[in-house]
Amino acid sequence: MALMEALAAELPVIATSISGIPELLEDGRTGLLVPQRDSAAIANALLRIYENPSFGRRLAKAGREKVLREFNLERNVAALGELLSRDWGAEGQSVHSVPGAAPARPGGGQMAHPTADRAR
């Protein structure tokens, strides 16, 4: 979560290439990925951004754009609702006919689960 927040804040990011980080951070485009436990690689990445501030700004801008484009909660909920409606509609069901599904929200968005509003 902190990595996504740093990207959203338009900061240049250096991270290790573990777990799901490479899915979020594209090496050389939205940030810099370094091998785990490699202090020389971290130092080189820091030096690369320090010596080339415009490169760091490009990484930061691209990282923010990616987060805004791919990790927008409202857009992702709407897309998920559309997928579920389409898939269930093919079998004669819809979000409206699923027991326990939340009713339509003002503005047209659907919540696929009755507890989704409590998570806000």
CA distance 16 to 10: 19
Same-domain status, 62 and 89: no
Domain that holds residue 106: 73-119
Same-domain status, 58 and 17: yes
pLDDT of the residue at 116: 44
CA distance 100 to 113: 7
What are the pLDDT digits (tens) for 23-42? 889 999 999 999 999 999 99
Same-domain status, 62 and 79: no
CA distance 30 to 32: 7
Same-domain status, 80 and 109: yes
CATH number at residue 11: 3.40.50.2000
Same-domain status, 66 and 78: no
What are the pLDDT digits (tens) for 44-65? 999 999 999 999 999 999 999 9
What are the pLDDT digits (tens) for 77-110? 888 888 888 877 655 554 455 455 555 455 444 4
